[in-house]
Amino acid sequence: MKSLECDNFRKLCQEYGISAKTGYKWRKRFMERGAEGMEELSRKPRGHSEQLGDETVCEIVRLKHAHLHWGPRKIRELYRRKHPGRDAPSDSSFKRVLEKAGLVRKRRRVRCRDGGRLASGLRAEAPNDVWTVDFKGWWKDSEGLKVEPLTVRDEHSRMILEMRAVKNSRTETIRECFERLFRLHGLPGAIRSDNGPPFASPHGLLGLSRLSAWWLALGISLERGRPGCPQDNGGHERMHLDIRRELQAGRIGRDQEAFELWREEFNTVRPHEALGMAVPAEIYRPSKRKYAGTPDDLDYGAMLSRRVQVTGALRYQGAFVAISTVLRGWSVGLAPRREENLLEVWFANLLVGHIDPDTSAFRPAAPPGDGPATGASPGSATLRRTKRRARALRTRQTPPKL
């Protein structure tokens, strides 16, 4: 009663050893409900998952059975999309329902080590900034046949652009897949891959293969992970984990229709927490860079241009300089580096090495960045082979014409 008559309410609260906030709360309860308002209120939750209707609980369980590898958040987002006008239960309610039904397994947590960063540090900030590519590790289908699909993914939107059980991993086969993708979606800014064939060549100039040289000729930059570090392409590897759980575990064979159905669900139905629970198809947009086919050759503007022959050599000042057979048929640009009396050798937008005009020797460039962003630098065995090829070409009696 003193609280209703006193002039200094805060001082009154100090006399009773309570805060002004608590005092105002109790006075409000007394004024609204009288003496009953002074009793301690129950701390029991107003609602929990057991109070959900049987129809809601059954639908939650049905959705989980249809997507056994999805967590409670993804199941809730799918429920919300199916019932846009209805308030969906909370994430914790979905989790409690699924735990009670025995449909949630505790995630095994592994302490992650610092994997370092990519050599170039390139990160996709928009669709088609970076595509990632790899082969899913092979498995055997119900008939004992080997299955190893090629997968291509847009890093920003998580959109799976290709999932195909190719007949082999030869350059021609994979190039046909990418030509189809380029015609359908346009050209990306860069492609990230591992250091294995056909995407790279461990013994080639700067790790270049015929396939990656073609990408460079189209104006696509190369991004490579470090050898033995799959975490450098972690998002792609995480997608492969879903394939292993949902396709490989069922021993799905070389059934392209089954792959397309799974890819369609991944792109248009499966919500992603990293995308704010959107689906990849809602984020992805085709590239503005259209594919106009493979150019006949490369234009280096004011640079001196020389075509690399079938032998992997170019002709400069009457001498043959061995570069790399992977660049055969393409022209390279030569730019003087006067302070060191060397010639820079460019292929597309990549500096591949230097030529010493006095000795006609070619020196491969070191990979840019902190690591092998464009492939591993050739080892001593590769350099010895290059020098032997250069000596053989210089001693030829009748050099081939350009």
Q: What is the CATH number of the domain that holds 78?
A: 1.10.10
Task: Please indicate, yes or no, whether residues 273 and 136 belong to a single structural domain of this protein.
Answer: yes
pLDDT in tens, 365-387: 876 554 433 333 334 444 455 45
HEC letters along the chain: CHHHHCCCHHHHHHHCCCCHHHHHHHHHHHHHHHHHHHCCCCCCCCCCHHHCCHHHHHHHHHHHHHCCCCCHHHHHHHHHHHCCCCCCCCHHHHHHHHHHCCCCCCCCCCCCCCCCCCCCCCCCCCCCCEEEEEECCCEECCCCCEECCEEEEECCCCCEEEEECCCCCCHHHHHHHHHHHHHHHCCCCEEEECCCCCCCCCCCHHHCCHHHHHHHHCCCEEEECCCCCHHHHHHHHHHHHHHHHHHHCCCCCCCHHHHHHHHHHHHHCCCEHHHCCECHHHHCCCCCCCCCCCCCCCCCCCCEEEECCCCCEEEECCEEEECCHHHCCCEEEEEEEHHHCEEEEEECCEEEEEEECCCCEEEECCCCCCCCCCCCCCCHHHHHHHHHHHHHHHCCCCCCCC
- Averaging pLDDT over each range in 34-48, 68-82, 87-101, 161-175, which range is the top one? 161-175
Considering only residues 337 and 344, tell me which one the structure prediction assigns the higher pLDDT: 344
How high does pLDDT run on average in the chain? Answer: 81
Residue 296 lies in a domain: no
Task: Return the structure tokens found at 352.
Answer: 């591949």
pLDDT in tens, 300-330: 999 999 999 999 999 998 899 999 999 999 9
Residue 292 lies in a domain: no
Of 60, 79, 100, the domain-final residue: 100
Residue 115 has pLDDT above 60, yes or no: no
Of 249, 283, 317, the domain-final residue: 283
Task: Please indicate, yes or no, whether residues 256 and 369 belong to a single structural domain of this protein.
Answer: no
Task: Please indicate, yes or no, whether residues 277 and 154 belong to a single structural domain of this protein.
Answer: yes
| pTM flag (> 0.75) | no
In this prediction, residue 161 carries a pLDDT of 96
Q: Point out the least confidently predicted range of 282-286, 331-335, 365-369.
A: 365-369
Share of the chain above pLDDT 90, in %: 38
Task: Please indicate, yes or no, whether residues 274 and 322 belong to a single structural domain of this protein.
Answer: no
pLDDT band at 129 (very low <50, low <70, confident <90, very high): very high
In this prediction, residue 164 carries a pLDDT of 92
Residue 220: CATH number of its domain:
3.30.420.10
Q: Point out the least confidently predicted range of 178-192, 354-368, 387-401.
A: 387-401
Residue 161 lies in a domain: yes
Task: Please indicate, yes or no, whether residues 261 and 382 belong to a single structural domain of this protein.
Answer: no
How many domains does the chain divide into? 4
Q: Order of strands, edge to edge, in the sheet holding 150-154? A: 160-164, 150-154, 130-135, 190-193, 221-224
Task: Please indicate, yes or no, whether residues 140 and 74 belong to a single structural domain of this protein.
Answer: no
Task: Return the structure tokens found at 284.
Answer: 């992805």
- Nearest 5°: phi and psi at 300? -110, 15
Domain containing 210: what range? Answer: 130-283
Residue 78 lies in a domain: yes
pLDDT band at 151 (very low <50, low <70, confident <90, very high): very high
In this prediction, residue 227 carries a pLDDT of 67
The whole-angstrom separation of Cα 60 and Cα 49 is: 11
List of residues 6+ apart from 162 with CB closer than 8 A: 150, 151, 152, 177, 181
Residue 272 lies in a domain: yes
The mean pLDDT value for 320-349 works out to 92
Nearest to 331 by CA among 343, 315, 317, 319: 315
In this prediction, residue 287 carries a pLDDT of 96
Residue 388 lies in a domain: yes
- Beta partners for residue 152, in sequence order: 133, 162
The residue whose two tokens read 């022209």 is 331
In this prediction, residue 198 carries a pLDDT of 93
Considering only residues 316 and 5, tell me which one the structure prediction assigns the higher pLDDT: 316
pLDDT in tens, 226-262: 666 666 777 888 888 888 888 888 888 878 898 999 9
Residue 295 has pLDDT above 70, yes or no: yes
In this prediction, residue 121 carries a pLDDT of 60
